[in-house]
Amino acid sequence: MNAEATMQKACLVTGSTGRNGAGSAIVRWFAKKGWRVVVNYSRDTQAAEAVAAECAALGAADVLVAKADVTSDEACRAMAAEIERRWGRLDVLVNNAAVTTFNDHKNLDGLSFDDFQRVFAVNVSGAYVATRAVAALLRRTGNASVVNMSSVGGLRGTGSSMAYAASKSALNAMTFSFARVLAPEVRVNALLPGFIEGDWLVNGMGRARYESVRAALIAKNPLKSVQTPDEIAEAIWWLVNGPAALTGELIQLDAGGRLVV
């Protein structure tokens, strides 16, 4: 690896293949900046290859497509080893992979024990396992960053289901823990979006409810908007490249929705 290549920074975004989603927007954003990027996925190889092609076309220094289920410690460690072999460094990890079970919070019988297990396995344990797998690479960089994709639901007990809200609250707590443990070489923060436009919510809520909720939020939010995947990517970029003293923070990005009384 030549001296010029070692200066090229590398970013891993877990769950970065969703169509019109935040994960693919984030990895494309870093690609546009000329970074090396890892397109991580667990099932859909075709979608991963499509995102990788987009990243290459946008100017990524290099693109690695890595199949790894974040609930598998073995798979995450293998992905970390592949990154080390290919580039010898990792500068940024974005823990974006997440799942939910859409269920009205009032419907207590709508969530099973298995629903909770699945949501926590990906949203909490998955972020832990992925971070642990690449911790040594991040520390070696000496000025690295981890961003956990959380949710305002983790603060308010709202969102797609009670299991999802609880998992994001746990992820917030883990953000504090990792910020202490990985300092001073690695900064760890969390981004807490509100409603993000895109297919993930459309598919989970149904088109009619999606449009109704979106319109209601735009009407009441102080900034009269909801979030787009590109706005999430821009915020992640700021967290990675912003104030060097920023760590252990939960940054809300909800068009001022938290201010509504």
Active site residues per annotation: 164
Position of tokens 């960053």? 145
Task: Give exposure, 117-129, as e/b (b: 16+ Cβ within 10 Å).
Answer: ebbbbbbbbbbbb
Position of tokens 């994709």? 149
3-state DSSP: the chain helix, strand, coil percent, rounded to 5? 50, 15, 30
SS3 state at 221:
coil
Which two structure tokens, joined as six digits, stand for 193?
Answer: 């979006």
Helix (H) or strand (E) holding 186: strand 186-193
Using the 8-state DSSP alphabet, how is residue 196 labeled? B
